[in-house]
Amino acid sequence: MPVEYVAEYKLDGLSIALRYEPADGGARLTTGITRGDGQTGEDVTSNIRTIRSVPLTISAEALSKAGLPQAFEVRGEVIMPETAFLRLNEEKEQQGLALAVNPRNAAAGTLRTLEPSIVANRRLEFYAYFLLIEIEGKSEYWPQGQRATLDALAVLGFRVNPNHKLVASVEQMTRFIDEADAARSTLGYEIDGVVLKVDAHATQQRLGYTGRAPRWAIAYKFTARSGITQVNAITVQVGRTGKLTPVAELTPVFIGGTTVSRATLHNADFIERLGLKLGDWVRVERGGDVIPKVVEVLEDADHPRGKQPFVFPLDCPECNSAVVRAEGEVDFRCVNADCPAKLRESLLHFASRGVMNIEGLGEAVVQQLLDRGLVASVADLYSLTEEQLTGLDRFAEKSARSLIEEIDRSKTAGLARVLMGLGIRFVGERTAELLSEEFGSIEALRAANAEELERVEEVGPRISQAILEFFAQPANLALIRALQDAGVVMTAEKKQRSAQLAGLTFVLTGTLPTLTRDEAKARIEAAGGKTAATVSKKTSYVVAGEEAGSKLDNARKLNIAVLDEAGLLALLEAAPDTN
């Protein structure tokens, strides 16, 4: 039976989940939460209530017509229409304030503001696209298709983007994508691509999720928008790891709804490959429609070449210390531990949304804290007082109290977030979570050797070496002690594993009769085994279901044992079930 898909516009906004609970025979909005990091979001209920396209109550009649229970969750996107975005920037310009970068950032910033009246005035809109129902206290997929979900949401009174279509072939998908790309400049709101979703929710459940995204949906991103402008200067920024990044200072150019005046040049080798000189005319793209980058140097009658070459600095532009370039690396780095730029970027990284999520600790606040000597490390954030904060520009008692509460709340973010916040090279979100589950505490992680570290999924020699080097530095150990003394939680629930399948590596392919891939993977890992994405000589077993593809062929070529689901369950018979 052919698989059908629903093609939808990919709205460029802020993802929101809305919770509805029984009230007077119908349903009432009780909670609105941002997506956050996918596990923890921000409660923005009071602001969500001001958005006119969000129903505050839903009648029993509408629920009956849609076939829904009284308790359910709706997910969708909050966007700022272009007219509202332009009006917002006009107001900011009149007030002498910095302009909003793009509608998505403006929508996100608006929804997180402390004043619901401001949110109401900004004219945000909410588009719904997903539905979960509650049965006996547990959230479940609504047992209809994705297209039926959109129809039901419209019946309930939600705004549903009309630009969606059921497709069943690559040709139909391609046609929809081309039509969306052609229409994007006329919509009145930002889209950055098209999302293709499997229509049948039963199939969605069988496909399940990876660590970050559903397997039953894929996003097609539009080609980045570009513009032509001139390079007036090249400055060099210093990041939290000491990396020096050259940045092109441009004559402002309008690209896809945003005025671009700066663009990354990546590193010295990139500038050399482009042959870039000051005064050159360049093509600039917004990568992912967000990050501006120089992609090409132009040379013709209308765009003459510049004359002055750029010489990469040999001293740090922030602290004047000599910079180094390790053998085999493309980046220059400042290795001065006291470089103020490294501290500024470390503070911003530590407070960012995907790490410790300290709302309100942005660039302006961090710079003031540094200028006044109030912080010398991320641990010093936890000793700040309301009195110190009220001395900062534009900080009243309410905003100072709010920031102190945010900092205090971050103490319980957990070990994985702390590991990300410490800035260990190569340790991102996924690796931090795996290390947290494996070791359960910062002390256990610190005591691990290279062999123990490399037993962790996705940790190889490069990552293990970076972790060992981090814990070998006395300054880093002092920072960890200071954070512990401040009450920052550095423990996690250690994932319990048996040793039944220790030393065995499994590759999953195809669709199993009863287990989703996530469930099979969890069962294998709970029994001490590992899972891998590709078949190699190190693979112990390939677990194959219906429609197994090239992985099964590769297993046969390499004479690797193949199991069906029954064979896997036989191996797992005594293993703990994580579900």
Residues known to be catalytic? 10
Q: What angle do the packed helices 461-471 and 474-485 form, to 10 degrees?
A: 70
Q: How many CB atoms lie within 10 A of CB 209?
A: 15
Closest CA to 533 of 521, 522, 545, 523: 521
Taking the C-alpha atoms of residue 67 and residue 62, their distance in angstroms, rounded to an integer, is 8
Which residues, in sequence order, are CB contacts of 82 under 8 Å at separation 6+?
103, 188, 189, 190, 257
Nearest 5°: the CA angle 173, 179, 181 is 100
For the chain, how long is the longest CA-to-CA vector?
75
Q: How many whole angstroms separate alpha carbon 201 and alpha carbon 204?
A: 5
Q: Is 459 strand, coil or helix?
A: coil
3-class DSSP state for residue 47?
helix
Kindly provide the residue ranges of all beta strands, DSSP E only, lying in 163-302, ordered along the sequence.
164-167, 191-198, 217-221, 226-238, 244-255, 258-264, 277-278, 281-287, 291-298
Q: Classify 205 as helix, strand or coil.
A: helix
How many whole angstroms separate alpha carbon 540 and alpha carbon 73?
A: 42
Which residues are CB-contacts of 278 (< 8 A; sequence separation ≥ 6)?
231, 232, 233, 234, 306, 307, 308, 309, 310
Residue 41 tokens read as 């979001």
Find the Cα–Cα–Cα–Cα dihedral 35, 39, 42, 43, rounded to 10°: 100
Contact predicate 196/164, CB 8 Å: no
C-alpha to C-alpha distance for 350 and 240, rounded to whole angstroms: 10
- Summary count for the chain: helices (H), strands (E): 22, 23
